[in-house]
Amino acid sequence: MRLLRLIFIATLALLLVAVALANRDIVTLSAFPANFGQYLGGQWSVELPLFLVIFLAIALGMLAGLIWEWLRESHIRREARLHAEKAARLENEVGHLRHRHAAPRDEVLAILDRPKEAPPAVPATSPAAIPASGTSVAPTR
């Protein structure tokens, strides 16, 4: 691709040089038609080589087209900017909602994911209150 681009640029440069060499004659470029400039005062014409007039006309046409397209597409850029702001605002809101609702949905999972609590402390009891092994009688209080 780079080679094709270089070939295109070299061909374009040779073509422009050929046009410049073929159009070296001096021409008068006037800003106003048929001596209308004399009523405004000053000199409103300039003498330039023809190839320079051609190249300036091409450059000014490209500049006018660039400005025209930039103005024509301004509403598209405005809409894109509004959509980008809306997307950023919604992404921010989703991030806050994810953080706020990070708990599991299932109640069983919520119980399993809950941090383990320390076992309750066993109250100190007297040895007489502990039933003998193998008995089913409740201890006396």
Range of the domain at 32: 18-72
State the pTM of this model: 0.54
| In the chain, % of residues over pLDDT 90 | 47
Quickly list DSSP for 96-111: HHHHHT-S-SSHHHHH
Question: What total number of domains does the chain contain?
Answer: 2
| Measured distance CA(50)–CA(72) in Å, rounded | 33
Residue 2 scores a pLDDT above 70? yes
pLDDT tens readout for residues 58-72? 999 999 999 999 999
92 and 58 fall within a common domain: no
Q: Does residue 126 form part of some domain? A: no
pLDDT tens readout for residues 31-54? 877 777 677 777 788 899 999 999
79 and 49 fall within a common domain: no
* Cα–Cα distances in angstroms (integers) from residue 83 to residues 70, 75, 89, 95, 98, in the given order: 19, 12, 10, 18, 22
Residue range 92-118: mean pLDDT, rounded: 75
